[in-house]
Amino acid sequence: MKNIKFLVLLLSLVFFTQLFAADVDSQFVGKIGQYRTLYLKNDNIFHGEILDIMEDGSVKIDTKEGVLIIPSSKILEETLKVKKTNGTSYTGKLLGEDEVFIDIETDYGNVTVNKGDIKDLQRFFGGKREKTIQQKIFFAGEEQITDLFGDPTAFVLPPYAFYISGFSMGYGFSNRFHLYSKITNNLNEDLNLACRYILLKKNYGAKKLHFATQLKIFSNHVMNKEYGKYYDEYDVDGLSDEKVIDELYGKEKREFYWEASFVYSFRSPLKNGRGNWGFHTGITFDKLLFAEPVLELEYDNETYDFTGGFTDTFFQSYRAFAGFDYDLSKRIKFISIVYYDPGNRYLTLGESIKNYFTHDFVQAGYMGERKPIDFDFGVTFTPNETLRIGFHFQNPFLTVYWKFLDY
């Protein structure tokens, strides 16, 4: 009789132990405030913000359709397959996740992986890979911008990526350094290179903070195109605008020329899981900052005094800018920028076309009205893995380029 009682007690203990273990295994792992995708055993799929994880394990989630309370036992177990940038890979059950780290239970122990080190991440629910939601919800936009319609960001081309447009080409040598060159200037006997290097690079999970510098050098630059940006008026009887600059500085003056930039960029995932947003700010200055402007002209027995973006001793040849980008979808980015630039000139669409086609596709600095403070916005569209198209409302209005990855 004692043996029977002991056996019943032992079986009861095993039963309740297994029942408790099953409850623990089915316990949902997550944190309040996270945006998560929940696959249920009855094939329902919900995506939204976790509002609460109750004492009984039920999950309160805010979806687009409403607030739902889902028992933990109905939620399929989430497992991950992670591949890091250094080649290491892990497969196991998700234990915890936040904006920076992912905790995974593997067959050989628990590991914590920084999201900034992840190259590829696949999620499985109940052993089946997540596909349906991935078509609608994405963690990161496919395009990381390297410029704001011409102004640099602190990001560079990916390693081994080749970039080409109608006006320039470039190549990414590493995850910190790239080079590019303006094709149109090269064809006009002005060989040039622009190099960008990331001085500071911090990743906090999926968040990125970069500080970079860029240097452009031109071997045989037409300086009159640069001088012309800073003069307000060219009202000299008998001389065209272009001839006024020639009279001030000499016809077809060519010199070595440089331009330097320092840029800070911040990139972070959107809280709803749909892509990223980025903030960029910087300053650019060039050789004219150390040059003395010509303030008056003697022509045809008349003296003409000039005003503009300069002092008695130097040109105000710097540009301060700030802008941001926002993922509207996987392939479309919204970009905006505001800037202060004493040499900036506003050109209409017609003036912009004339500027390029009448000056060998190199902008003439004296065209358009000088406008020190201005802003611009538009979108870039990536129809496939290589082609990028941009539309905005300032010169040059349309950007088209190709980016090829070669591994």
Which letter does DSSP use for residue 236 in this model? -
pLDDT computed for residue 301 by the predictor = 85
Residue 110 vs residues 23, 41, 95, 96: alpha-carbon distances, Å: 20, 26, 9, 11
Q: Name the burial class of residue 242, with classes exposed (0-12), middle (13-18) and buried (19+) by CB atoms within 10 angstroms of its CB.
A: middle
Residue 287 vs residues 102, 109, 314, 348, 375: alpha-carbon distances, Å: 48, 59, 10, 28, 24
Question: Residue 218 corresponds to which amino acid?
Answer: F
Is the entire prediction scored with pTM above 0.75? no
* Full set of structural domains in the chain with CATH: 24-135 (2.30.30.100), 147-405 (2.40.160)
Question: 332-335: long-range contacts at Cβ-Cβ below 8 A with a sequence spacing of 24 or more?
Answer: 332/379, 332/380, 332/381, 332/382, 333/141, 333/143, 333/145, 333/379, 333/380, 334/377, 334/378, 334/379, 335/145, 335/148, 335/149, 335/377, 335/378, 335/379, 335/380, 335/390, 335/392
Q: Name the burial class of residue 280, with classes exposed (0-12), middle (13-18) and buried (19+) by CB atoms within 10 angstroms of its CB.
A: buried
pLDDT by position in tens, the chain (length 407): 555 655 555 555 545 444 444 444 456 777 777 777 788 887 788 878 888 888 888 889 987 667 888 888 888 888 888 988 888 999 988 887 766 788 898 888 889 888 778 888 888 887 767 655 444 444 444 467 899 988 999 999 988 889 898 789 999 998 899 999 999 889 889 999 999 999 999 877 678 899 999 999 999 998 988 998 999 877 888 888 778 888 889 887 899 999 999 999 999 887 666 678 999 999 999 999 999 999 999 888 888 999 999 999 999 999 999 999 998 887 889 999 999 999 998 888 777 777 666 655 556 667 778 899 999 999 998 887 788 888 998 887 888 888 876 54
| Beta-strand relationship, 101-106 and 89-97 | antiparallel
pLDDT computed for residue 359 by the predictor = 57
pLDDT computed for residue 237 by the predictor = 83
Give the position of tokens 């999950």. Answer: 59
